[in-house]
Amino acid sequence: MTILVTGSTGTIGTRVLSALQRHPQSAGTAIHALTRSPETARLPAGITAVKGDLSDVDGVRSALVGISTLFLLAPNAPDELTQAMLTLNAAREAGVTGIVYLSVFAGEAYADVPHFASKVTVERMIHALDLPATILRPAYFIQNDLRQKDALLGGGVYGMPVGAKGISMVDIRDIGEAAAAELLRREQAGAPLPIETYELVGPDALTGADLAALWSDVLDRPIGYGGDDLDGLEQRLKSFGPAWLAYDMKLMMRRYQDDGAVASADDISRLTHLLGHAPRSYHDFAAAAAASWDQA
């Protein structure tokens, strides 16, 4: 049968496709990638582009024909919840026997953050209907901090207001590998498997001060923490994105400051077993980024 990957040309979808292609157990597995523009999509060799997006339910139904396993990544959009729930219903009607759903770490605790609450509601649907799904809950993406390059190199500041409670940030390569492993496990099982949940996290809980010190080390120059200014963050995000999204991100960061998002030892142990290696560290990411910036 066939695996369908949604969000296939985005940050996470591209990692999932790459990890599927490299996985030793993927031989003979057909992989389709849902994309709005199949004619221009840059996909790995052997991946079949399928036209559609989650806002078009008829297109989703068409893309699900012949699909046995689904990777569901709903976009961060005002109708994220509707898109995800309609897609899950369409998948159930199409006879899909395996689902991997990308949720979020600490979603239940962050009840006032819209895109967290949407994902928790989708999880409730999965449990209520006993869908054959793996729920993956990633923390804040390490690679988001590539956007800190100008602040770090030009201003000597780590500018993301993550606060002092700590966040167990996850490397997107680990997200791709975890998703690929679970997609193939469900694809090759021969029968629907019970619900499984994994927290996708990094090995270290890092504060703003920790991150400034870490970047000072890898860049070999003084780096300060820019502070906890959430209004400033919202205004910066509004300069290149919609106001609703900027406010949503502000609310998320406020909860990071108030509560943190720290993984347990069991979370890290279970993820290590799934990946077959320890989760990648922020320090290794930062060292690699610094080296690439230096070469550039």
The three-state secondary structure class of 165 is: coil
Residue with tokens 């990308």: 102
Q: Domain residues of the chain, as ranges? A: 2-139+171-200+264-279
Helix or strand run (H / E) with residue 59: helix 57-63
Indicate the length of the chain as a whole number. 296
CA distance 296 to 285: 17
Q: Are 274 and 184 spatial neighbours (Cβ–Cβ below 8 Å)? A: no
Q: Note the pLDDT tens digit of each residue in 218-269.
A: 999 999 999 999 999 999 999 999 999 999 999 999 999 999 999 999 999 9
pLDDT of res. 208: 98
pLDDT of res. 170: 98
pLDDT of res. 82: 98
Q: Are 199 and 271 spatial neighbours (Cβ–Cβ below 8 Å)? A: yes
CA distance 48 to 50: 6
Q: What is the dihedral angle through the alpha carbons of 184, 99, 197, 285, rounded to the nearest 10 degrees?
A: 60
What are the per-10-residue average pLDDT scores of the chain (296 residues)?
A: 94 97 92 94 92 96 98 96 98 98 96 97 98 98 97 97 98 98 96 97 98 98 98 96 97 98 98 98 98 92
CB atoms within 10 A of CB 194: 8
Fold of 2-139+171-200+264-279: Rossmann fold (3.40.50)
Burial class (CB in 10 A: 0-12, 13-18, 19+), 239: exposed
pTM > 0.95: yes
- Could you tell me the sign of the dihedral formed by the alpha carbons of 273, 277, 280, 283, in that order? positive
Backbone angles phi, psi at 38, to 5 degrees: -60, -30
CA distance 278 to 232: 35
